[in-house]
Amino acid sequence: MHASPMASAGQRFRVSVDIGGTFTDIVIQDAITGHIDTGKVLSTREDPARAVLDALARFVPDQDAMRFFVHGTTVGLNAVLERRGAQTALLMTDGIEQAYLIGGNDRQDIFDLRYRKAAPLIEADRLFGVPERMDADGSVHRELDVAGVRAIAEQIRRLGLESVAVCLLYSFMRPEHELAVEAILREQLAIPVVLSHRISPEWREYARASTTVMTAYIAPVVERYLTTLMNALERDDAPLHVMQSNGGVTTGATARTAPIQTLLSGPVGGAIGAREISRRLGRHNVVCVDMGGTSFDVSLIVDGEASVSSETELDGLPIQMAAVDITGIGAGGGSIAWLEGPALRVGPESAGSTPGPVCYRRGGTRPTVTDANLALGRVDSRQFAGGGMDLDLDGARAAIAAVGAEIGLSADQTAQGILDIINAAMADAIRTQTVRRGIDPRDFILVAYGGAGPMHAAALAQELEIDEVVVPAHPGTFSAWGMLQTDVRHDFVETHFVPLDEVDLTQIEEIYTRLTATGMDLLDREGVAPQARRSSRSVDLRYAGQEYTLSVPLSAGTLHAASVTEAFNAAYQARYGHSNPGAPIEIVRLQVTLHGDLDRPREAAPPIAAPTPWSTRRVRFGDEWLDSTIVSRTALGPDDEVRGPAIVEETTATTVLPPGWSGRRVEDGHLLLTRNGD
C-alpha cells in the first residue's frame, strides 16, 4: 500500500460519507489504531451538502486530522431521476439531430403492451443541427459552417439555456469540428459546453449523444454541489475524493469535469466493500444484496473482482461509461402491500420515510414489509434502531389484517405472504444477474447489507440454494465502509475497428501508449505517487457481423491474436452458453485502466461487549410460531454459535436465522451464516 495523495504524518483519520434517502452515513477509521466508528445524520434533501458537513462536524470535530475523505453523492442521480437538471441544448450533425429523440430500437420487454420509450432529458426545440459532416473514414465530407454555429449560439442565448452538449458524427475519430464548435460557443456563451469525444469517444451515435446530454444535464448541478463542499472543507492537503460508478475514486476537482462518473457512486460502495470481504474470507464469488427502505440492489463479485460493464443505463437512457453492474428494483422495508383483484401484491410503491410504515406512527396507513416483519416477531417493537423507536405492533397487525380480510386470509397468513412475495421479487432480481447470464448462484456466497438486507438474507439464500451468507460488521453503513476499501481508478478508451487477423500491432501499441500517457498525466494532477500506480489493458471484440462486444483482458499487456481468440471464445461460451470457434473476430474498442493505490490500514475488529443473557421470543417461520433465540450481536464471541430459529439484533440491522441455519462471528467481526440442511 502507498500513502494517500498529499497526506501528512499528523493526519490520522480516513473518512467516508454516503448520502441515502433518509440518512447520511459516515464511517471514520483511525489509521493508527485501525478502530472504526460509524454514525448517521438525517439527510437534507434540499441541500445535500449540509448533511455531509453536519456529519463531519458531529463525528470528526478535528477535521485538520483528516488524511483522506471520500464521498458517495446522489446529486447527479437524483437530478436525472427527478428531472431537475440544467436546461440543456444538444448540437448534432445537421440531418441527424433528431436521433436523440428517436432513440434506440431495443425494447426491454417486447410483450409489454403498455411499453413507453424512456423520456429524453431535452425537448425538440433544444435540438440544433450543425452544418458539418465527417465520414466514417475520418475524412471531411462537409466543412464546418462557422456562421451557422454562431447563429445557433445566439438561439441558445435567447432561450436562456444553462448547458450545451455537442455530439457530431465520427468526432471520436476526428474531433476538430467539435473543438471548433466549443471555441465558438465559449466566445458567445458563459455556460458549460460538453463535447462527446471527451466524455464518450466511442461509436453508436444515440448512446454517445445520450451520454453527452446526461453529462451536460447534470454538470452545473454537480459542479455547484462539489464546489460548495470543497469550499466548506477549506482543505488543500486532504482533498475531497468522490466515489465513481466504475468502483474507483477520483478527486473532487476531476469529478467536476466528468460528473457522469458520479451517478452510481452510492450503490457501488457496497459492491466494493463486498469485494474486500471476499478477499479476506477467501470466497471469491459473491452475490451482493443491498436492501434499504425503498430499493433492493444486486451486484456480483466474480473471481474476486466486481463485475463491470462498459455501458449501462439510467431511467431507460443509455450511458457509455465503465460502471459496476447493479440491478435495482423497488423492493425495500417500506414497500407497500396492496390488492390487485384477489391477488396480494407488494411494491414497487414505497411508504418511504414519510409517512413510512404503519408501525412508525407517522401517519402511514398501508401495510409494508417492515410491518410484516414486526407482526411476525422478527423485529422487537421496543428495540428497533437500538431502542430509539417504539414501534406500533397493534397498528401494524390491524393494517395487515384489513388487507388480508378482503382475500380471506388471517393477519399472520397475510404477513407471511407479504414476505414471501417480496423475497420472490428479490430472488428474481438476483437471477437476472446470475442465472440469466449463465452464472450458477449456488457457487457463490451472499453478502447482505443495508438496514433490511440481513433480515431477508437467509430466505433469499435458501430460495437460490446458496449455503453461506455474510452479514458485514457494519451492515447499516456498509456502502460508506466500502468506499474506504477502494483506490483511485480511471478508464480510457478508443474505438478502433479492425478484423483481428488484419491487426497492425504497431498501431495498437501506439494507441495503448497514448491512452496510458493520458492516464498518467491525470494521476499526476491527482497527486498519486509514481510507485502507487498500476495499469491494465483490455480489448473489446465481437464475432464479425454482431452488434455487441465482450471485453478480454490482455494479461501480458500485448495483443496476441491466438491467445485473444481463445480468451474471447471462452468468454462468449461462459456468457451465452455457446461459441463459434473459427468464425472471424473483430476488434471494436481498446481500453486502458489506471489505478492509484491508496493507503488502507487494516482496521481493528469491533470490540466484543460484556456477555449478555440470551433470551427467547416467539417468531413465525412459514406456518409455525417457534420459540426463537434472541441475541445481541455485540455480545457474540468468536466461540459462540447461534442456531436457528434465532434473531441477532444490533443498532442498524436485524439478522434472521430460520430453522436449519446457524451463525458465528468470523474474521473482522463479520457474521457468517451457514445452511446446515437439517
SS (H, E, C) 591-655: EEEEEECCCCCCCCCCCCCCCCCCEEEEEEECCEEEEEEEEEHHHCCCCCEEECCEEEECCCCEE
Contact 645, 657 (CB under 8 A): yes
pLDDT at 161 (0 to 100): 95
Domain boundaries, the chain: 80-222, 265-326+426-448+463-481, 335-421, 488-596
pLDDT at 569 (0 to 100): 94
Q: pLDDT per residue over 10-46, tens digit each?
A: 578 899 999 876 678 899 998 888 888 888 887 887 7
383, pLDDT greater than 80: no
With bands split at pLDDT 50, 70 and 90, how would you rate the model's confidence at 9?
Answer: very low
Tell me which CATH code domain 80-222 carries: 3.40.50
Closest CA to 15 of 3, 1, 31: 31
Q: pLDDT per residue over 113-161, tens digit each?
A: 777 788 899 999 999 999 999 998 888 999 999 999 999 999 999 999 9
SS3 state at 96: coil
365, pLDDT greater than 90: yes
SS (H, E, C) 551-593: EEECCCCCCCHHHHHHHHHHHHHHHHCCCCCCCCEEEEEEEEE
Closest CA to 573 of 544, 552, 553, 547: 552
Q: Which amino acid is at 482?
A: G
Contact 538, 552 (CB under 8 A): yes
Distance CA 354, CA 363 (A): 8
Distance CA 424, CA 430 (A): 10
pLDDT at 22 (0 to 100): 67
Closest CA to 27 of 53, 75, 60: 60
pLDDT at 212 (0 to 100): 96
> Which residue did the predictor score with more confidence, 491 or 235?
491
Distance CA 199, CA 594 (A): 17
pLDDT at 5 (0 to 100): 44
Using alpha carbons only, what angle is made at residue 209 by residues 137 and 311, rounded to the nearest 5 degrees? Answer: 95
Mean pLDDT of 420-434: 93
pLDDT at 535 (0 to 100): 94
604, pLDDT greater than 80: no
Contact 399, 358 (CB under 8 A): yes
Mean pLDDT of 168-193: 94
> Which residue did the predictor score with more confidence, 294 or 489?
489
Q: pLDDT per residue over 620-657, tens digit each?
A: 999 999 999 999 998 888 888 999 899 999 888 899 99
> Which residue did the predictor score with more confidence, 2 or 432?
432
> Which residue did the predictor score with more confidence, 4 or 524?
524
Strand-pair partners of 129: 92
> Which residue did the predictor score with more confidence, 428 or 32?
428
Q: pLDDT per residue over 513-554, tens digit each?
A: 999 999 999 999 999 999 999 999 999 999 998 888 899 999
Contact 307, 368 (CB under 8 A): no
SS3 state at 265: helix
In the block, residue with C-alpha cell 466508528: 37
DSSP state of 100: H
3, pLDDT greater than 50: no
C-alpha cell at 277: 470481504
Mean pLDDT of 450-455: 91
7, pLDDT greater than 60: no
pLDDT at 236 (0 to 100): 54
Mean pLDDT of 230-248: 81
Q: Is the preceding peptide bond at 530 cis, omega within 30 degrees of 0?
A: no
pLDDT at 347 (0 to 100): 87
Q: Which residues contact 558 (CB under 8 A, 6 or more apart)?
A: 505, 509
Using alpha carbons only, what angle is made at residue 108 by residues 103 and 112, rounded to the nearest 5 degrees? Answer: 110
> Beta 193-195 vs 163-167: how paired, if at all?
parallel
SS3 state at 220: helix
SS3 state at 91: strand
pLDDT at 4 (0 to 100): 45
pLDDT at 116 (0 to 100): 79
DSSP string, 271-307: HHHHHHHHHHHT---EEEEEE-SS-EEEEEEETTEE-
With bands split at pLDDT 50, 70 and 90, how would you rate the model's confidence at 387?
Answer: low
DSSP string, 13-82: EEEEEEE-SSEEEEEEEETTT--EEEEEEE--TT-HHHHHHHHHHHH-S-GGGEEEEEEE--HHHHHHHT
Torsions phi, psi of 338, nearest 5? -150, 170
Distance CA 487, CA 109 (A): 37
Q: Which amino acid is at 377?
A: G
Average of per-residue pLDDT values in the chain: 89
Mean pLDDT of 148-175: 95
pLDDT at 108 (0 to 100): 67
Pick the CATH number of 488-596 from 1.20.120, 1.10.1740, 3.40.50, 3.30.1490: 3.30.1490
Report the percentage of the chain scoring pLDDT > 90.
57
pLDDT at 235 (0 to 100): 62
